[in-house]
Amino acid sequence: MPTVLQLAISRGGVPKLPILEAHVTPLGIAGDVQKNRKYHGGPNQALLLITAEGLDELKAAGFPVYPGALGENVTTVGLDRRSLRLGQRYRLGEVEIELTKMREPCRTLHPYGAAIGKSVYDADVKAGRPTSPRWGLAGFYVKIIRTGVIRPGDPITLLSDSY
């Protein structure tokens, strides 16, 4: 069963650092800060979710990444990034989320290698085509459908497919 591996916050930027539990509001995890609110945060980008398996792929390609490195709030284990679709709803702990948008990487990720952006995002991802080998490597933004608490180890349950 897919589970939450890590929850993380920061005072802005990367990396985000692990926390023991997340109190999730409609705008994300209480205490998490986004420096550039023009591109980050808001109700449709309340959290960033990345799979541990995707991070493993990036590590194997030579990028020095780890849970929280790419600015994700939620790192999962056991979810296949290739099966995730915009519009799907999931339950994580007490929280219900909906996948809303693919994360488009920016220069904030350059400390992990200048080529990381092209390794996690391409024209097919931008066009919403999950057949891209890069699908989901940069992460998925989510909106909060139901607030509550999430803890590492909480199960992740698919509630509904794309709307």
SS3 call for 92: strand
Match 């999430």 to its residue by tokens. Answer: 150
What is the per-residue pLDDT for 161?
84
- Is the distance from CB of 113 to CB of 107 less than 8 angstroms? no
CA distance 131 to 83: 10
156, pLDDT greater than 80: yes
- The pTM of this model reads 0.95
Q: Which amino acid is at 16?
A: K
CA distance 69 to 111: 10
pLDDT, tens digit, for every residue of 97-131? 999 999 999 888 988 998 999 999 999 999 999 99
What DSSP character marks residue 82? G
DSSP conformation letters of 96-141: EEEEEEEPPP-GGGGGG-TTHHHHH--HHHHTT-TTSTTTTSS-EE
Domain extents in the chain: 3-160
What is the per-residue pLDDT for 34?
82
CATH 3.40.50.620 fits 3-160, yes or no: no
87, pLDDT greater than 70: yes
